[in-house]
């Protein structure tokens, strides 16, 4: 089992060694000064803001930062654990995603990231079905040192009706995520999961609300006719349906066309931010971009034989 949350371990020798100037702390959420230092490091390294998400109560035990703390009490480096539950071909999968891997500039080159990775894998590598992470192009040689292998995700696409086509049925309208009613409606739909997905993210409202109370809060829609919520964006004429949640009293094609009609009426093509259960019916292509998926060897690797992708909103 993972070690007790909030525990600390001072510098040690041997595997995962670090100097006595540092202490490893597991879960900084309830330590106010260290939490604020963690927030500051995330802003500095990634431009990420966790403050509002935490104040709103969305930080749950599913998100566990492993933070190396310098002797002055500041967060020097971090690797975070996110527990991701899903279902694949009728079988429950309990996955662990690693993220928010960062080191303050003054503490780089001291092996802190390596020590944190070893500590995380020691605690979690044998307590789940699989471990994975996303890496940018500057660190592709780092993660194979810990047993990670590259994997390829595939995105499904479908064409959208022409602009002069009749308006799609479904009546999606934007949800106001600044209101309690809007948030409650989204969460009610989320409890029903994605009715179209082959690989849904389950029981993780905290991660959902990191997106939907933050930079995607203006991208949430709801159809009362379909009893379906949709999180969607548009860029360069491409409508990206990040996820659906709800009853889904319609087909996937109906839902996508109706959501695109409301959120991106000029788009000609839709990309799905999840793998549909009927994926074989859609065009699929390798995911392009700056994030490269790595999977820990020896655990679950559904990407080895299937052209699938993890939901966009499950990225931590």
Domains and CATH numbers, the chain: 8-153+288-311 (3.40.630.30), 156-286 (3.40.630)
Question: Considering only CA atoms, which of 125, 82, 126 is closest in space to residue 315?
Answer: 82
What number of residues does the chain have?
316
Question: Considering only CA atoms, which of 191, 156, 188, 204 is closest in space to residue 59?
Answer: 204
Under 8 Å between Cβ of 196 and 277: yes
Q: Flag whether pLDDT at 24 surpasses 70.
A: yes
Half-sphere exposure of 210 (CA within 13 A, CB side): 16
Question: Considering only CA atoms, which of 309, 258, 264, 305 is closest in space to residue 288?
Answer: 309
Distance CA 40, CA 48 (A): 9
- What's the mean pLDDT in 212-223? 96
- 266 — pLDDT class (breaks 50, 70, 90): confident
What's the confidence (pLDDT) of residue 163? 57
Burial grade of 11 (CB within 10 A; 0-12, 13-18, 19 or more): middle
Q: Flag whether pLDDT at 194 surpasses 50.
A: yes
Under 8 Å between Cβ of 206 and 59: yes
- What's the mean pLDDT in 202-230? 97
Distance CA 115, CA 169 (A): 54
Distance CA 83, CA 62 (A): 5
Structure tokens at 172: 């999606």
Structure tokens at 186: 């989204």
Under 8 Å between Cβ of 103 and 44: no
- 279 — pLDDT class (breaks 50, 70, 90): confident
- How large a percentage of the chain has pLDDT more than 70? 92
- Among 12-21, 67-76, 124-133, which stretch is predicted with the lowest mean pLDDT? 12-21
Q: Flag whether pLDDT at 18 surpasses 70.
A: no
């Amino acid at each position: 089992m993972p070690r007790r949350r909030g525990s600390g371990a001072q510098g040690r020798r041997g595997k995962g060694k670090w100097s006595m100037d540092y202490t490893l702390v597991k879960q900084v959420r309830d330590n106010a000064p260290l939490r604020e230092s963690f927030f500051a490091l995330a802003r500095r390294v990634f431009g990420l803001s966790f403050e509002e998400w935490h104040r709103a109560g969305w930080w749950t035990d599913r998100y566990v930062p492993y933070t190396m703390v310098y002797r002055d009490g500041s967060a020097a480096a971090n690797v975070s654990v996110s527990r991701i539950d899903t279902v694949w071909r009728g079988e429950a999968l309990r996955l662990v995603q690693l993220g928010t891997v960062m080191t303050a500039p003054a503490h780089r080159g001291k092996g802190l990231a390596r020590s944190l990775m070893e500590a995380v894998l020691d605690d979690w590598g044998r307590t789940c079905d699989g471990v994975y992470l996303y890496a940018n192009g500057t660190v592709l040689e780092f993660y194979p040192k810990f047993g990670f292998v590259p994997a390829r995700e595939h995105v499904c696409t479908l064409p959208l009706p022409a602009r002069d086509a009749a308006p799609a049925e479904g009546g999606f309208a934007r949800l106001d995520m600044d209101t309690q009613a809007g948030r409650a409606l989204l969460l009610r739909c989320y409890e029903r999961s994605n009715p179209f997905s082959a690989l849904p993210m389950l029981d993780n409202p905290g991660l959902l609300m990191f997106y939907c109370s933050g930079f995607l809060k203006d991208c949430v829609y709801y159809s009362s006719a379909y009893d379906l919520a949709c999180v969607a964006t548009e860029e360069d004429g491409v409508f990206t349906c990040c996820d659906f949640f709800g009853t889904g009293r319609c087909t996937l094609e109906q839902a996508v066309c109706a959501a695109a009609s409301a959120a991106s009426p000029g788009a000609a093509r839709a990309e799905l931010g999840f793998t549909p259960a009927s994926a074989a019916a859609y065009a699929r292509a390798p995911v392009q971009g700056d994030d490269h998926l790595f999977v820990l060897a020896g655990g679950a690797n559904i990407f080895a034989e299937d052209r699938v992708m993890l939901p966009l909103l499950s990225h931590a």
